[in-house]
Amino acid sequence: MNTVMQVFPAFMLVLCRIASFLMVAPVFSTRTIPKTFKVGLAFFISIVVFLTVGFDNPVPLDGAYILAILKEVLAGLVIGYTAYLFFTVVQTAGAFIDIQMGFGIANIVDPLTGASAPIMGNLKFMLLTLVFLSINGHHYLIGAIMDSYKWLPLDGQLFHTVYEGRMTDFLARTFADTFLLALQIAAPLVVAMFLTDAGLGLLARTAPQYNVFVIGIPVKILVGLALLILLMPGFGTLFQMVFDRMFGALEKLFVIMKATQP
């Protein structure tokens, strides 16, 4: 019992980081996955991490233990949030496309997140999730949270990194990069819709008898869907590029966490 009580505080810290990561990480944080499964998965991953990494130094149960819990929860949330930012790229790109195609007023409820999502964004998000699962990306995410203990151990100085502002700067830059990536993904369809609007404007000037407001919406929808079908084969390569940037961002995050370690 004494041995168990010596390792139990360290195990709870590991469980806090793993559980908070699974609550916000892509794929694992979806509403379709039962909460019981998430808790069980976090528990068993914590056991594997605890037995694999090994934590020889005992963790004292004092006032600093509460700060250690907050630090581990913050670490898990930051890692999961960084990964989830790259999954929102396709939803942002889909929102740009929907505004141009006329689907902006027809948002649907995303069953995975429970939030209102654009039609094209929801379609691309489901394709992104399927590609992510097909390349075993969820295994890489679990491996990333397990490797995080090599960069940020339980006695790490995460609060000092946050105080210095490097963590905030990294998250701001990552958000800006994902927003720029969403613009790049939506650029072909957005430019095509802009040219379609310009053509309809010229049609309205040269042939006023045509009601552009009536024929414009179906024309833009047909052009957008046709381009979407043409671009669909390239989504696999595009999504793999997004995943490469996501894991690159996680690696940069771990380097920032490691920078101030003793």
Dump pLDDT digits (tens) for 205-224: 787 777 777 777 788 888 88
Residues 157-185, mean pLDDT to the nearest whole number: 82
Predicted pLDDT at 116: 62
CB 94 within 8 A of CB 124: yes
State the pTM of this model: 0.80
> Is the pLDDT confidence value at 65 over 80?
no
> Is the pLDDT confidence value at 193 over 80?
yes
28: helix, strand or coil: coil
CB 30 within 8 A of CB 112: yes
Return the percentage of the chain with pLDDT > 90, whole number.
0
Distance CA 108, CA 179 (A): 22
61: helix, strand or coil: coil
Predicted pLDDT at 171: 87
> Which residue has 């949330």 as its token pair?
77
* Least confident interval from 85-94, 187-196, 210-219: 210-219
Residues 147-175, mean pLDDT to the nearest whole number: 79
Residues in CB range of 191: below 8 A, 6 or more apart: none
> Is the pLDDT confidence value at 260 over 60?
no
Distance CA 101, CA 248 (A): 33
152: left (phi over 0), alpha (psi -120 to 50) or beta: beta
Dump pLDDT digits (tens) for 232-246: 888 778 888 888 888
Dump pLDDT digits (tens) for 139-157: 888 888 888 888 777 766 7
Distance CA 179, CA 231 (A): 20
Distance CA 179, CA 88 (A): 9
> Is the pLDDT confidence value at 2 over 70?
no
